Structure 1
Amino acid sequence: MRDPGRVTDKTSQQPVDSARTAARQAAAGPAAAAEGPYEVTPGVYKRLTTGLGGYSIAMLSCLLIVGLIALITPREHKETLPTADYGNHLFALRNKAPYTPYAPQGLPFTWRTTSSRVSGLDGEGPVAWHLGMVTPSEEYAALEQSDERPVGEYLWRMTNSREPVGVQQVAGQTWQRYYRKDKDQRSLVRTLPGLTLVVTGTASYEELAVLAAALKPQPKNGASASPSAPAASTSPSATPADRP
């Protein structure tokens, strides 16, 4: 049984809905007429559609050129060691060492001192001096000197070798040659009363002979001698020697 209180007349609602729709269309008439495709000139269309793309292509081209230039430009990666001043160490050795120290004099300016260390001046242990250098061929050479005893143990530590492989005449003096193949290390050794001199490094025997020939005894007790400035050239009287 149907409830007479809930009778719905669909026919009476249709005119109302139609009237509302017509009113909305009338209100939106001008705006609706403005909708639709716009006509633009070819120049405006080109700027609107290709401006950003052209800019992006230009930027990428510039970045590509910069990258290629950076890639083909040679760069120097070699590190240059700072130069060391050993004057204070030599002065201390001349005044406090129990032996007469030796120092290079007259080396060409292409020899650069890169390190200097002194030990034993406080009375504990042997007195030793290390002087590291870079040779004109960019190899390493060092002067090692000490009054350490026994001499054999000191030579083993400095040359990394137990037995000499020959002799070499340098500036009228006989030096013993040592060689350590796996370290590519060459050494020249001269033993004096109370002092052992070792010239060692990766430099050739010829360059080591230049350093050995430049070694001169330094007066003690505050005398005026001091290491001279690098000279333009040096010609040690050394037996020519090639690498082993």
Structure 2
Amino acid sequence: MRRFTEGFYGYAVALFVCLGAAGLFLLVTPQSSGEHIPKLNYSITVANFSRTVPYQVWAPSKDPAGWVPNSNKIATGEGGAQVLHLGYATAKREHAVIIQSDEKPAGGFANRMANSDKVVGTEQINGRAWERRFREDKNQRTLVLPLPDVTVVVTGTADWPELTEIVTVLQQRPKPTD
């Protein structure tokens, strides 16, 4: 009599045992059916950025309903200027990012962040005139607020109403006192 592990039948049984174990593992392992967008707190990044720049930083007073802050960083722009990025997944699950810097020339900074130098209109939001820019091939909409001491850019694949929604909650934060 042949041993159980020899021949075709032994291999077939071993294969079915392995497949059964894998199937059992998949049955008892919890499966995630919902989306998972990592939520990152940007308050420390904003506070650190505020300490390094000579102007009041613009940041959301609150996150719009359904929006998830999912990225934030401080980068170095042209001429050594500090650049703050606050990224979001919007309620419609598009992308939007708030970017600001005192980089000079301000127009060059805004053009790079918007991927466009073409202003297609303006929009009054909270009493300020924001430039509208649109780059069709990237499906990128941008609102730009050029101020004397800082340029604020809100850009992404979000539609105009969503970009306006995040702009309405932007506020200048007071400079921290150390």
Shift of 1:150: 1.0
Unaligned 5+ segments in structure 2 are: 1-22, 24-31
Instruction: Return the alpha-carbon distance in structure 2 between the equivalents of residues 178 and 209 of structure 1.
Output: 13
Which of residues 78, 83, 89 in structure 1 aligns to 2:45?
89
Partner SS for 1:85: coil
Letter aligned with residue 142 of structure 1: V
Higher strand share: 2
Instruction: Return the alpha-carbon distance in structure 1 between the equivalents of residues 63 and 112 of structure 2.
Output: 26
- Say whether 1:98 aligns with 2:54: yes
Letter aligned with residue 53 of structure 2: A
Shift of 1:79: 5.2
Instruction: Return the alpha-carbon distance in structure 2 between the equivalents of residues 166 and 183 of structure 1.
Output: 18
Tell me the residue number matched to 1:117: 73
Tell me the residue number matched to 2:156: 201
Letter aligned with residue 156 of structure 2: G
Partner SS for 1:91: helix
How do 1:149-228 and structure 2 match up within 5 A?
A: 149-222=104-177
Contact 1:94 1:222 in 2 (8 A): no
% same residue? 37
Larger Rg over CA atoms: 1
Contact 2:146 2:152 in 1 (8 A): yes
Instruction: Return the alpha-carbon distance in structure 1 between the equivalents of residues 62 and 132 of structure 2.
Output: 23
Higher helix share: 1
Letter aligned with residue 106 of structure 1: K
- Say whether 1:133 aligns with 2:77: no
Partner SS for 1:203: coil
Map Cα deviations across residues 123-151 of structure 1 (whole Å, 9 max, x no partner): x7001100000111111110000011112
Instruction: Return the alpha-carbon distance in structure 1 between the equivalents of residues 176 and 88 of structure 2.
Output: 27
Tell me the residue number matched to 1:19: none
With normalisation by structure 1, the TM-score equals 0.56
Partner SS for 2:91: coil
Contact 2:37 2:68 in 1 (8 A): no
Map Cα deviations across residues 37-68 of structure 1 (whole Å, 9 max, x no partner): xxxxxxxxxxxxxxxxxxxxxxxxxxxxx9xx
Which of residues 60, 65, 80 in structure 1 aligns to 2:36?
80
Tell me the residue number matched to 2:16: none
Shift of 1:95: 2.0
Shift of 1:109: 3.8
Q: What count of residue pairs does the alignment treat as equivalent?
A: 150
